[in-house]
Amino acid sequence: MSTADRPLFTGRPAVVGHRGLGRGTVDGLVENSLPSLLAAAALGVDWVELDVTRSADGVLVVHHNPATGHGDFLVELTAGQLGAHGVATLAEVLDALPVEVAVDLDLKTVLEDAPGGWGSGTVALVAPALAAEVRRRQVLTTSFDVAALLWLRDQVPGLALGLISWVDFPLRMAVTAAAHLDLDVVCLHHGSFGPNRVETGPVHHSPARSVEVAHDAGLEVMAWCPGPEAVAPLVTAGVDALCVNDVPTMLPLVRAAATL
């Protein structure tokens, strides 16, 4: 494991601000913007999560969707053009975030990277940035793209890596895959911990049992985007981190649940 058995998440659970203060616009601050990320840190989250992709001119930018709100694909616009849409570069964000703020960098998959082959495109651009960043702050890189994670492990020694699974994706599959890939973290949608629209039937272990198995496999467990009603059960189950929307609302709920 890249973290050499050193826990990433303290506080049990750690609170991760999803795209800063949360998805969309929270307290007037837009997701993935520097003001949103700084505001989340100021409120006391343990980590901030941000999304990274690339522009047409090979600049890493912080944005979740592959297109702007106007429908223009980021990979077809320059960083300057994206800046006019309010999209910050990764360099700008990392330079402005205090080094004591831990960062979960969610590496987005770019369709246009497919023809380039292994280790090309966005992942090749992000590797040197991560190599520099792990020397000055705590960093986790998460992605749905397994190939990107494995390539980064070879390129950036000491980088913590986490596999993200999709909405309501079967937990047993994600945990086993992350463990057998020898990753550090498995990032599970909160709906994966019990009956959901994908699997309604009696196929789920208790959340506590699932977390226990993940821990036995050497993984830390992040649950992403739970609503208020899911916080206490996930905390009780022993998840290591919660990646939350609406930080002003959710942070005190998580802290309260952790003291019960």
| Domain membership flag for residue 3 | no
Q: How confident is the model at residue 1 (pLDDT cuts 50, 70, 90)?
A: very low
Residue 5 lies in a domain: no
Q: How far apart are CA 193 and CA 231, in angstroms?
A: 12
Per-residue confidence (pLDDT) for residue 5, from 0 to 100: 57
Report if residue 21 sits inside a domain.
yes
Helices (H), 97-206: 122-133, 146-155, 171-180
In whole angstroms, what separates CA 199 from the centre of its chain? 24
Pairing of strands 14-18, 25-26: unpaired
Q: What is the CA radius of gyration of the chain?
A: 18
Rounded Cα distance, 118 and 155, in Å: 12
Identify which of 145, 220, 156, 215 has the alpha carbon closest to the alpha carbon of residue 187: 220
* pTM (predicted TM-score): 0.96
Residues 208-250: tens digit of each pLDDT:
999 999 999 999 999 999 999 999 999 999 999 999 999 999 9
The number of folded domains in the chain is: 1
In a domain, 6, yes or no: no
Domain that holds residue 88: 14-258
Residue 141 belongs to domain with CATH number: 3.20.20.190
Quick check: is 8 in a domain? Answer: no
- Domain assignment present for residue 185? The answer is yes
